[in-house]
Structure 1
Amino acid sequence: MKLNEPEHAAPDDAVARRDVEPVICYPTATLPAVDLTAYRAARDGWRKIAETLVPPRDARTFRVPAGHFFRIVSVEGPQVGDLNLWHEADLTERFYSGKTRALHGTHLSTGDRLWSCLPFLRPMATITDDTLDWYGFDRFGGSVHDVIGTRCDPYTNRLLSGGDYHFCCHSNLIRALAQAAGIGMDEAERHVHDVLNVFMCTGFTRDTGQYFMKATPVRPGDYLEFFAEIDLLGALSACPGGDCASEHSSDAATCHPLLVEVYAPANKPHGWRPAEPNAYSRRHGM
């Protein structure tokens, strides 16, 4: 529990220390530019080649070849989803939410990329459209599609409530990955990772800095669209919190399915090639 009042007196120059200007940790001006015009032009003549309906309080996997698009779509009612991504050929290369957050910020939208973990550190997918981009940041500091929450899980649920609940997003993703990859639950759990919280509206409280959630603004027909920069295996959980207006990890919230659609473009974006792993030598000073 955080203390309401500090235990130590502020120094005489506390105001000056607080007024030091911040510095962006990872300036992104030197990142390769995202050519949204080329990506969007590649939609012309595209065709849907697959779709996966994710049931409420459960998860499903899907595959997206490099150079294809996929959309996560709200189809019935307000519902948030937890997204994991892996390199289809190597589960050790997975989405790195922390580095994605450091590069693009706490919440993602059009033009941002989902980066893979070290030592690969390459773009896995690029967000090419977001029908919730109008939301921006509200007066509470909340926004949508965050990379700050980790995913609801049965361990935290046990810690806070004293009971077991098996349909948290962590467990949902484990079951889905185990089935899709033909591996055991223990091995699958080692590959499930921090998520992109699709459609979820979140932020940090101004006074205590606590992670908060509020009802998602998503409507039926809204979607978040991606372009696959490498061959992807994805898993999406329709969170047991539904719209996350009050709670998650329970059977109390009203939940809805989510739809994943995969599209094959007639032509790849002009000048596009699959992303290569990071070129660092990996000598680490040796």
Structure 2
Amino acid sequence: MKPQTPRFAPPKDADKRRKISPVICYPPNACIEADHGAIADLRNEAKHIKTVTVPARDAACVDVPAGAFFRILSVQGPQVGDLNLWNKVDLQEKFYSGKTRALHGTHLSTGNRMWSSFPNLRPMATIVDDTLDWYGFDEFGGSVHDVIGTRCDPYTGRLLSGGNYHNCCHSNLTRALAQHCELSFMDAEKHVHDVLNVFMCTGFTRDTGQYFMKASPVRPGDYLEFYAEIDLIVGLSACPGGDCGQEHTSDVAQCYPLEIEIYDPGAQARAMHKTPPKSAYDQSHGQG
């Protein structure tokens, strides 16, 4: 948190410096857009093939092939989820929330893409539908589906409270990935990473710049839907904060399950999908 009272006097041209216009770091048109028309045609052909229930205060993983769709669905009550993505055949390639935030902004919605970690830096999934797109940004600067928070974890919990809590999203995802890939907890934990906070309503306070949360506007029946750009393992934790209106990580908040629905346009249609290429950078880092 920034100090309330500055220790140093402003320069004479302080107002002029503050009024300099901002420059967008990454112009939106610099990224290659998904072929939304082709994706929509595929979605029209896709049929529901599987539903995975993510229990409250727990997590689950499921495989989703490139060219298929997956939907995160609110089913019983207001509940937020922490989403991880991994390359099915290489867990080292995983969702890069920080670069996704830099490319698309603090909160994601329809048309935005979830980018993978270095050295690949390519789209892993594209958001194709969002029933909460009506929310926008509220008067506090809050919005839904953020890539600014990390994930609730036992290490920060221990730091702040002195106790151990094992049903936080980091631990939930670790257990789920370990079971899905037949890994030890220690090996699985190395691959758990910063998340897309699905349905979570968050922002930064305008006076101190602190990360805040507020009760999610999500209702049963709301969903966020994705198109899988590569073969994926999708991991989702139903956060122990419930709708994150009061408690962030506890057994006190009212929590509900979430569902992951998979829609498949069929093997023939998926075979037509063009997997995004990995970054063309040669990794020489100036030494080539």
Report SS of the residue matched to 1:79. Answer: coil
Report the equivalent of 2:23. Answer: 23
Report the equivalent of 2:173. Answer: 173
Distance of 1:45 and 1:119 partners within structure 2: 34
Distance of 2:48 and 2:144 partners within structure 1: 26
Report the equivalent of 1:215. Answer: 215
Report the equivalent of 1:278. Answer: 279
Distance of 1:237 and 1:113 partners within structure 2: 20
The equivalences for 1:67-82 within 5 A come to 67-82=67-82
Report SS of the residue matched to 2:144. Answer: strand
Distance of 1:181 and 1:247 partners within structure 2: 31
Tell me if the contact between 1:41 and 1:269 (Cα under 8 Å) persists in the aligned partners.
no
Distance of 1:271 and 1:63 partners within structure 2: 19
**Amino acid of the structure 2 residue aligned with 1:99:** K
Deviation at 1:35, TM superposition (A): 2.7
The equivalences for 1:167-206 within 5 A come to 167-206=167-206
Tell me if the contact between 1:38 and 1:270 (Cα under 8 Å) persists in the aligned partners.
no
Report the equivalent of 1:153. Answer: 153
Distance of 1:30 and 1:91 partners within structure 2: 27
Report the equivalent of 1:42. Answer: 42
Report SS of the residue matched to 1:155. Answer: helix
Deviation at 1:40, TM superposition (A): 1.4
Distance of 1:194 and 1:213 partners within structure 2: 17
Report SS of the residue matched to 1:102. Answer: helix
Report the equivalent of 2:117. Answer: 117
State, as a whole percentage, how many aligned pairs show the same letter: 65
Report the equivalent of 1:83. Answer: 83
Deviation at 1:17, TM superposition (A): 0.5
Report SS of the residue matched to 1:42. Answer: helix
The equivalences for 1:236-251 within 5 A come to 236-251=236-251
Report SS of the residue matched to 1:40. Answer: helix
Q: Does 1:94 align with 2:109?
A: no
Tell me if the contact between 1:38 and 1:269 (Cα under 8 Å) persists in the aligned partners.
no
Gaps of 5+ in 2: none
Distance of 1:196 and 1:67 partners within structure 2: 21
TM-score by length of 2: 0.96
Q: Does 1:253 align with 2:249?
A: no
Deviation at 1:34, TM superposition (A): 2.4
Deviation at 1:265, TM superposition (A): 1.1
Report the equivalent of 1:133. Answer: 133
* CA-to-aligned-CA distance 1:146-189 (integer Å, 9 cap, x gap): 00000001111111111111100000000001111111111111
Distance of 1:53 and 1:105 partners within structure 2: 30
Gaps of 5+ in 1: none
Distance of 1:73 and 1:80 partners within structure 2: 10
Deviation at 1:30, TM superposition (A): 2.6
Deviation at 1:36, TM superposition (A): 2.1
Report SS of the residue matched to 1:199. Answer: strand
Deviation at 1:272, TM superposition (A): 4.2
Report the equivalent of 1:14. Answer: 14
Report SS of the residue matched to 1:60. Answer: strand
Tell me if the contact between 2:54 and 2:238 (Cα under 8 Å) persists in the aligned partners.
yes
For this pair of structures, how many residues does the alignment match?
A: 286
